[in-house]
Amino acid sequence: MTPESSGPRPLALVTGASRGLGEVLARVLAGEGFDLLLTARDGPALDRVRAVAAARGGAAHAIPGDITDVALRARLAQAVGPSRGLDLLVNNAATLGPTPLRSLIDLEPAALEEIYRVNVVGPIALVRALRPALRARRGLIVNLSSDAAVGGYPGWGGYGATKAALDLVSLTLAHELAVDGISVVSVDPGDLRTPGAEPAFPPEEFRQRPSPEVTIPFWAWLLGQARPAINGLRFQAQAEHWGVPP
């Protein structure tokens, strides 16, 4: 991904960066020449990822916290600053909700509200806080979706509903933020063997899922696309092709 204007190294902010797909993304982006701002709830694990990313060159900073916390979002916005600007925001932090998974009708309303706070409200609020910085660099927002957003899988209704909502949020923001030169995409990474998904599957089924590294070719492709050309699109990272409509 080439910045739209000359200046410092491009800067990426990744949420949920302490493990799984977020950790892989941190390594990929560091290798692509990005400076990094990383956040997640697990401070020690996040610092380990920060150190690995920094070893690949460039700067990497970690600010631990919960994305639903307004104070964390303010700290992240302050750390970026509108004068530096933000080239890439990856909204990867998410929660499945209570496990073992239960049917939607049996999910307590308070638990459903919490899933929405993390998976939908958190990303919207973070974009709101970072809008000036994203505008300054005509940045790209990547919202992580799921096949559960369209599958209607029993037991996955709460999580899937939030990811379906995030898909619509992504498309809406793509329309609304285009005036700022900000682009937005939604990405379904596909089935992955990540710590966040482990509680939802029997051990043998979980072990058969691919590692998050399987998505690396997709991220390399996405980072090479012109941002306006992909604005508003939804991608499947494990698809055979990721074409952009003409």
Catalytic residues: 159
What is the identity of the amino acid at 33?
G
d(C-alpha 12, C-alpha 90), whole Å: 8
Q: Classify residue 180 as exposed, middle or buried by CB count within 10 Å of its CB (0-12, 13-18, 19+).
A: middle
CB 133 within 8 A of CB 85: yes
CA distance 46 to 213: 18
Strand order in the sheet with 11-15: 60-62, 35-39, 11-15, 88-91, 140-144, 183-188, 234-236
Q: Which residues share a beta bridge with 60? A: 36
How many H helices and E strands in the chain? 10, 7
Mapping DSSP to helix (H, G, I), strand (E, B) and coil, where does residue 40 land? Answer: coil
